[in-house]
Structure 1
Amino acid sequence: MKSFASYLRVIAITSIVFIAAEYLIDSGEKPAFIEYPMVSVFILLFAIILIGIEIMVGSMNSLADAIMTEDQKKALEVKRAKARKNAWYLKLEKRLTKAQPIEAEGEIILDHNYDGIRELDNSLPPWWVYGFYISIVFAVIYLAKYHIFDGNTQAEEYEQAMAKAKIEIEEYKRTAKDLIDANTVELLTEASDLNAGKSIFQTNCVACHMADGGGGIGPNLTDEYWILGGGIKNVFRTISEGGRDGKGMVAWKQSLKPSEVAQVASYVLSLEGTTPANPKAPEGEIWTPEEE
């Protein structure tokens, strides 16, 4: 039994340390013990030390029991029994329940007798009485707030919560780059975005459009002519969904994130007006921003 209690102590303390580490260490979406392996090493060493302490304490207790006389053992057992009887949790339980000990039940037994079943005249448990009083106070406050001082109804609170949630969703959409689509995408002008778009273009697009965008298998990207429409929204849609059926560009939405499509689309638009080495003849129609 003592060994079982020791195991429980080790597990409980190690779990508390583990939870504290997860709470205190900012490891992003991954657990701290995965993101930072040293956390796992620390918790493992801590558990080993706890086990060592429990083993040492158990050995010392066993040694003490071995060298004690019978009278000393009996005195120690009486002392331990008294300590268990006066444990704080037992005192707390007695205070919350006011339950009478079995020895005193004869003083509170009632005269009722139903088929040998007799009833005790116990007091109501204080925890129940306090809960009842708290519910009365809550009911009075609730009545005053919602029926006297015209507090918000559940329907009004719902509408307020939904309005707040809508604002939070819009803010999240504004900052979450990969939630954009052809209807919400905006032209990127930051150098970091254009450089990222250029890298994607050089990796995936030069085979058909050439490194300078002059065109090869695919159309020239430096002139003002567009087959499926220019502008950030049309170019984003074309890259994401693909070109004309049967002979156009493949859809890149399975390979590129929306934020990456926006970056490469913005870079493609930045090529307009540049002078490629061997420009391909114009294809499509002249596109103006008013048509987007």
Structure 2
Amino acid sequence: MRTTASYFRVIALVVIAIIGTEYFTDLPKGEYAIFVNPFVALFVFMVLIVAIAIEVTVATLNKILYLSLSEDKKKAYDKAQAERSTYFSRKVERLMQALTKSKKIEEEHEIELDHNYDGIRELDNRLPPWWVYSFYITIIFAVVYLIRFEVFNDYDQEEEYLTEVAEAEATIEKWKETAKDFVNAENVTMLEDEARIQNGKQIFVQNCVACHKIDGGGGIGPNLTDEYWILGGGIKNIFNTISEGGRSGKGMVAWKNTLSPSEMHEVASYVMTLQGTTPAEPKEPQGEIWKPENEK
């Protein structure tokens, strides 16, 4: 029993160490720290070594204490250990008897059938209670299922599927409302939050003034305050231009690898606010006139 308990304690400590490292390590789903991080694997290995060392030390101390006992005390100790082992054996035996209702070896003659195949006897054992009760439960479940879905025509598989799909779509839509970075050129809309627009202005000042000037009047890049656009106006086209950059050699770099979707959303919304303003030195019109009704 002591050896078995020692094994369980060592295994428990290692499992706790693995769970703890996984809890405090932020990894993508399907990846485990113990396999991808050598320091985690080393930590778990050290926990295993320490746990084994503790168990060996405790076992050694117990052996030393046992050897220091007198012969009478050794006999008393051995007797207590034997009784303890017998006690647990009886408990296990009673549990198995309750689960299987099998006959003891010395009572097998009571259920022996008149079949003997080359010395192999056949016994008429009872079915284990756990199996019988499980079978009864399946019968009850089948009857309830039959009445519910075949007699009273409750929902079918197609209805259940459609309901779950609708719930999933509602959950996704709710998540999209608060997921700032779940935005692209197809679903982007003009921001109404002034704080986020001002944040877009700060990003514009840090990254865009070299080409468009601080007031959007244009320099190397085109004027952002008039109604003329090279790559199309409107929030969707502006967002796409910021994300993907200029096309056909227009010179605009792609910012999708530098700015997050939410930051590009803020910059695009800020650029929209420049429409109709009067820059100090506006650049001549470039591209074609873009009207709001052209927004797809």
Question: How far did 1:112 drift?
Answer: 0.5
Question: How far did 1:260 drift?
Answer: 1.9
State the alpha-carbon separation in 1 of the partners of residues 192 and 49 from structure 2: 56
Matched, 1:242 2:245: yes
Residues 90-124 of structure 1, C-alpha deviations (whole Å, 9 max, x = no match): 43222111122333323322221123321112111
TM-score (norm 2): 0.79
Identity of aligned residues (%): 53
SS for the counterpart of 1:99 is coil
Question: How far did 1:235 drift?
Answer: 0.9
State the alpha-carbon separation in 2 of the partners of residues 254 and 22 from structure 1: 30
Q: Which of the numbers 269, 281, 286 marks the counterpart of 1:283?
A: 286
Question: How far did 1:19 drift?
Answer: 4.6
Report the equivalent of 1:8. 8
State the alpha-carbon separation in 2 of the partners of residues 145 and 192 from structure 1: 55
Report the equivalent of 2:75. 71
Structure 1 pair 68–85 and aligned structure 2 pair: CA distance change class (3 A): farther
TM-score (norm 1): 0.80
Report the equivalent of 2:39. none
Report the equivalent of 1:164. 167
Question: How far did 1:181 drift?
Answer: 1.9
Question: How far did 1:266 drift?
Answer: 0.7
State the alpha-carbon separation in 1 of the partners of residues 27 and 156 from structure 2: 38
State the alpha-carbon separation in 1 of the partners of residues 131 and 15 from structure 2: 33
Matched, 1:85 2:85: no
Question: How far did 1:197 drift?
Answer: 1.6
Report the equivalent of 1:40. none
Question: How far did 1:29 drift?
Answer: 7.5
State the alpha-carbon separation in 2 of the partners of residues 139 and 83 from structure 1: 42
Structure 1 pair 13–244 and aligned structure 2 pair: CA distance change class (3 A): closer
Divergent runs of 4+, >4 A: 1-4, 16-23, 25-31, 46-57
1:257-268 → structure 2 map (5 Å cutoff): 257-268=260-271
State the alpha-carbon separation in 1 of the partners of residues 194 and 28 from structure 2: 29
Question: How far did 1:6 drift?
Answer: 1.8
Residues 41-100 of structure 1, C-alpha deviations (whole Å, 9 max, x = no match): xx99x999977875675355324421142532442343133123123x443222111122
Greater shift, 46-55 or 199-208, is seen at 46-55
State the alpha-carbon separation in 1 of the partners of residues 22 and 257 from structure 2: 35
Residues 216-275 of structure 1, C-alpha deviations (whole Å, 9 max, x = no match): 110011223222222211211222232240234133333333222211111111222334
Kindly tell me the number of residue pairs found equivalent between the two proteins. Answer: 281
Report the equivalent of 2:63. 62
Residues 166-195 of structure 1, C-alpha deviations (whole Å, 9 max, x = no match): 222222333323232222111113233123
Report the equivalent of 2:125. 122
Report the equivalent of 1:110. 113
Amino acid at match of 1:114: Y
